[in-house]
């Protein structure tokens, strides 16, 4: 890894995210070489000062740090796992910013090591227009020395970097866990919007209230997460039995209103199971014990 005193970066993949990453680097004075499967996508960046590599091997040779941000792992492998790339990969630092799975990250790190490169994995948790801000969240995992070498470049992409340690699968794992939270909350939000509609109320006003309570709900979840981590289910904030009653009420409300019952039925069944297992008089975080079963 020869990144000291070097401001050269190659960006592979010029979709909406890769283009944004290349542009941010150009704006910070990096010498940026770019490559994309469809070459037309580099035109604007070249006008802004990027160098278009004639082929992928030239892009790899051009810089000590290779940022790759393409559709998925298969696309990344189709680009990188070729004889031409393997021949020039020695000593390079590969910063993978495509969204890939935990197993794929493990495979990619091994593949990079076999070819003499260091590898670090990132999960971008923002849209292209949100990149480059002090609060842009990026999850990172991989060898600490590699992370430290890549840190100045990562800080160009976003100021809120969570370095999750040397286990390479950590960033895609946390990215997936975060998605689980986001989709769970989103489905609950939209079901709530149907309750609002069924009473002829304003979904916009409801959405404003949700936005208002979200920061304190985040703090509540942080508390619950700490309890799971400590395996301590003593009631501190919210007894599980309250959620049993609340989700049963939600299901009954949906039935009475003639709206979709899938979400409250699922939630009510899960909390009922927890109560039947004897967790009613524990903190709501005890729900994790039901989810640990198959
Ligand atoms: N956009 C977002 O909001 C966002 C947010 C967080 C994370 N991400 C992650 O960032 C990555 C890139 O997203 P994006 O929004 O930039 O996607 P995008 O605009 O759809 O661009 C996809 C890129 O992948 C390339 N590609 C796809 N299949 C390929 C293949 N088989 N061989 C070679 N290149 C291939 C495309 O090349 P061509 O131009 O030749 O088709 C293009 O450069 C994804 O993993 C995504 O999950 C995106």
pLDDT of residue 294: 80
| Residue 18 CA, ligand 1 centroid: distance in Å | 7
The C-alpha atoms of residue 235 and residue 132 are separated, in whole angstroms, by: 41
The C-alpha atoms of residue 236 and residue 230 are separated, in whole angstroms, by: 13
Q: Whose CA is nearest to atom 33 of ligand 1?
A: 75
Average pLDDT over residues 32-55: 96
Closest CA to 95 of 134, 152, 54: 152
* Per-residue pLDDT tens over the stretch 21-37: 999 999 999 999 999 99
* Per-residue pLDDT tens over the stretch 161-182: 999 999 999 999 999 999 999 9
Shared fold status for 8-167 and 202-291: no
Q: Whose CA is nearest to atom 25 of ligand 1?
A: 70
pLDDT of residue 4: 43
Q: Whose CA is nearest to atom 30 of ligand 1?
A: 75
76 lines ligand 1 (CB under 6 A): no
247 lines ligand 1 (CB under 6 A): no
pLDDT of residue 39: 81
pLDDT of residue 5: 41
Average pLDDT, the chain: 96
201 lines ligand 1 (CB under 6 A): no
Closest CA to 113 of 84, 139, 142, 138: 142
Query: Does residue 93 register a pLDDT over 60?
Result: yes
Strands 118-124, 137-142: pairing is: antiparallel
Q: Please tell me the pTM assigned to this model.
A: 0.92
Average pLDDT over residues 218-231: 98
CATH number of 202-291: 1.10.1040.10
CB atoms within 10 A of CB 177: 10
Sheet holding 51-52, edge to edge: 51-52, 31-35, 8-12, 65-68, 93-96, 118-124, 137-142, 160-163
The C-alpha atoms of residue 290 and residue 286 are separated, in whole angstroms, by: 8
| Residue 56 CA, ligand 1 centroid: distance in Å | 16
Length of the chain: 294
Q: What is the DSSP letter of 140?
A: E
- Joined together, the tokens standing for residue 65 give 């740090």
* Backbone phi, psi, residue 119, to 5°: -140, 140
Counting ligand 1 atoms within 8 A of each CB, the residue from 15, 72, 126, 140 with the most, and so the one to mutate, is 15
Where exactly are the structural domains of the chain? 8-167, 202-291
* Per-residue pLDDT tens over the stretch 5-25: 479 999 999 999 999 999 999
Average pLDDT over residues 188-209: 98
Q: What is the DSSP string of 19-61?
A: HHHHHHHHHTT-EEEEE-SSGGGGHHHHHTT-EE-SSHHHHHH
Average pLDDT over residues 97-112: 98
The C-alpha atoms of residue 276 and residue 52 are separated, in whole angstroms, by: 63
19 lines ligand 1 (CB under 6 A): no
The C-alpha atoms of residue 19 and residue 37 are separated, in whole angstroms, by: 13
Q: Whose CA is nearest to atom 4 of ligand 1?
A: 127
| Residue 74 CA, ligand 1 centroid: distance in Å | 11
Percent of the chain at pLDDT above 90? 97
13 lines ligand 1 (CB under 6 A): yes
| Residue 42 CA, ligand 1 centroid: distance in Å | 14
pLDDT of residue 127: 97
Q: What topology does CATH give the domain 8-167?
A: Rossmann fold (3.40.50)
CA-based Rg of the chain, rounded to a whole angstrom? 24
């Amino acid at each position: 890894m020869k990144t000291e005193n070097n401001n050269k970066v190659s960006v592979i993949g010029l979709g909406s995210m890769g283009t944004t990453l290349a542009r941010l680097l150009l704006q910070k004075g990096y010498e940026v070489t770019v490559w994309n499967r469809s070459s037309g996508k580099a035109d604007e960046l070249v006008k802004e000062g990027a160098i278009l590599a004639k082929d992928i091997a030239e892009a790899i040779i051009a810089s000590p740090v290779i940022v790759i941000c393409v559709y998925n792992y298969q696309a990344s492998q189709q680009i990188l796992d070729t004889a031409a790339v393997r021949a020039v990969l020695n000593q390079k630092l590969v910063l993978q910013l495509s969204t890939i799975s935990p197993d794929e990250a493990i495979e990619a790190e091994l593949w990079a090591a076999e070819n003499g490169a260091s590898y670090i994995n990132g999960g971008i948790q923002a849209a292209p227009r949100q990149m480059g801000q002090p609060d842009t969240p990026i999850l990172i995992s991989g060898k600490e020395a590699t992370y430290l070498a890549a840190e100045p470049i990562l800080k160009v992409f976003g100021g809120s970097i969570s370095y999750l340690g040397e286990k390479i699968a950590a960033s895609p794992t946390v990215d997936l866990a975060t998605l689980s939270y986001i989709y769970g909350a989103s489905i609950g939000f939209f079901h709530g919007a149907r309750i609002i509609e069924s009473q002829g109320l304003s979904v916009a006003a409801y959405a404003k209230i949700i936005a208002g309570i979200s920061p304190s709900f985040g703090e509540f979840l942080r508390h619950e997460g700490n309890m799971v981590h400590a395996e301590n289910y003593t009631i501190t904030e919210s007894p599980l039995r309250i959620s049993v009653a609340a989700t049963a009420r939600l299901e009954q409300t949906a039935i009475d209103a003639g709206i979709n019952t899938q979400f409250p039925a699922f939630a009510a069944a899960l909390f009922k199971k927890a109560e039947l297992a004897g967790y009613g008089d524990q903190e709501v975080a005890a729900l994790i014990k039901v989810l640990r079963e198959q």
